[in-house]
Structure formats: C-alpha cells, structure tokens
Amino acid sequence: MTDRKPMIAVLTGAGISTDSGIPDFRGPNGVWTRDPAMEKLFTLQNYLADPDVRRRSWLARQDNAAWTAEPNAAHRALAELDAAGFPVRVITQNIDGLHQRAGSPERKVIELHGTMFRVRCVDCGAVTTMREALDRVAAGEPDPACTECGGILKSGTVMFGENLDPDTIDTALKVALACDRFWAIGTSLTVEPAATLCAVAAQSGARLTIVNADPTPYDVIADEIVREPIGTAVPRMVRELISGAGSR
C-alpha cells in the first residue's frame, strides 16, 4: 500500500479560457470562425512579408481580451490540485498566462506556444515586454521596429509556420511519459505536436481523460470522455481526486 499521489499532466487549449471571456479559434463563435481572414495574422510568412498584416496584428494585440481576463473556476481548480500536494504539470497551448495568475507555480506551467506578454525581434532576438511595444503603437508607431537593430518585432508566441521551442516540447514529452494521468482539457487535439502528447501518455500507461465539448481525433484511445462544461467538469474532477474518489 502506498500513499503516493498520482502525477497529473494537464494539456489545456483555448476552451479552458472561454469562461474567462477569451474566445477560442475554431469553435462556433471562434475568432477564425467569425473572420477567417484573421488567421493570416497568425501565419509567420504573412506577418514577415506584409506590413499591413503586422499593423493589423498590433491593433488586434491591443484589443486582446486576455489583458482584462481573470482566471476562472477551471484554472483555479488545477492550482488547488497542486496546492493539495499532487504533482501537477500544466502543458498549455494558451498564451494568456491565466494558469499562473490562478496560482499554478510558473515552473510547473509549460507554455508550448509561448506568451503574449513578451515581444521578440526576429532578426537579433532581443526580447522586450508586450506592454512596451503596445505603448509605442498607442503613441503613433503602427508597426514598431526593434530598438536594437531595426528588425521586425513579433509577439513571443509561436505562429503557424514557426517551430516550437525544442526544449519546451522535450520537457512536455518527458511529462507525458512520466505521468499517471493525462487530462486534455478544452483542446480540439488537431494541432501537432501538442495533440500527440495524448498518445505518448496513453502508450506509457497513463489514464487518458479528454474534456471537450466536441469529439477529438484522440477520443478512440481515451479512458474517459467528458462533455460536461469545463467550468464544472474540472473542479469536480479535482474534488474527486483530492477526496480519494478517483485515486488509482
């Protein structure tokens, strides 16, 4: 008999943040569903080649709902699970920082697609804050250039056509291999290599739970599929685990 708590790996997508007022991308009211042309703003080749795309991108960043969003019940529940002594690692496709603001320790949150709160020069690699760049936009620079070399600035997020940071994906893979349970929450599981983490975890013996409103390509290998709204499902799952009802 052992009192070892199971290691929980949690992959989160845009769906976990919709209750915080941040729209997803591909859902019925998603950003790209409502305006397919917006997807161009997230493609590196278009961004680098077209100054107009960059100008539209900076305006969109100013209006991003994440600036005023607050963590919701699902974010807080995952932080509570960590506080209860469970080894939790959050692997997120989101760039909004809400897991950290909810109380999940920064070192335990793996941001696969980067963060919206930093800006990087694509030429010299200089890093500054998004707030600094947006202040320049507000002051009249529609497409602010790097102050170090004059190069193009982009958000510290991973765009389509851009590789994920190899160290970040390596860390995520190690977590998927080591966990006892893998929860995929609010993600369509159509973006690789993030989605593959489900298979990696399942093949390594982890119990796979998918919490998503719509079917995903990985439902066929899941041990449990939850269609309940994320804002109620995740707190319930956490309560059950903490109380011992869901222990292995």
Are both 106 and 208 inside the same structural domain? Answer: yes
The answer to whether the predicted template modeling score (pTM) of the entire model surpasses 0.85 is yes
Q: Annotated active-site positions, please?
A: 113
Contact present, 95 and 154 (Cβ < 8 Å): no
Q: Residue 4: what pLDDT? A: 83
Are both 125 and 212 inside the same structural domain? Answer: no
Q: Residue 245: what pLDDT? A: 46
* CA angle, 45 then 53 then 186, to 5°: 75
Are both 90 and 200 inside the same structural domain? Answer: yes
**CA 213 from centre of chain:** 17
Contact present, 201 and 83 (Cβ < 8 Å): no
Q: Residue 130: what pLDDT? A: 96
**Residue 208, domain CATH:** 3.40.50.1220
Are both 46 and 125 inside the same structural domain? Answer: yes
Q: Residue 41: what pLDDT? A: 76
Q: Residue 64: what pLDDT? A: 86
- CA separation (Å) from 162 to 26, 43, 122, 153, 191? 20, 8, 11, 15, 13
Are both 132 and 172 inside the same structural domain? Answer: no
Q: Residue 34: what pLDDT? A: 58
**H or E element in which residue 109 lies:** strand 109-111
**CA 177 from centre of chain:** 19
Are both 127 and 247 inside the same structural domain? Answer: no
Are both 105 and 228 inside the same structural domain? Answer: yes
Number of independent structural domains in the chain: 2
Are both 123 and 215 inside the same structural domain? Answer: no
**Residue 141, domain CATH:** 3.30.1600.10
Are both 53 and 138 inside the same structural domain? Answer: yes
Q: Is 10 exposed, middle or buried (0-12, 13-18, 19+ CB in 10 A)?
A: buried
Residue 179 lies in a domain: yes
Low-confidence ranges of the chain (pLDDT < 50): 1, 33, 245-248
**H or E element in which residue 169 lies:** helix 166-178
Alpha helices in 11-72 (DSSP H): 31-34, 44-49, 51-62
**Could you list the residue range(s) of the whole structural domain that residue 38 is in?**
34-68+116-157
Residue 29 lies in a domain: no
Residue 27 lies in a domain: no
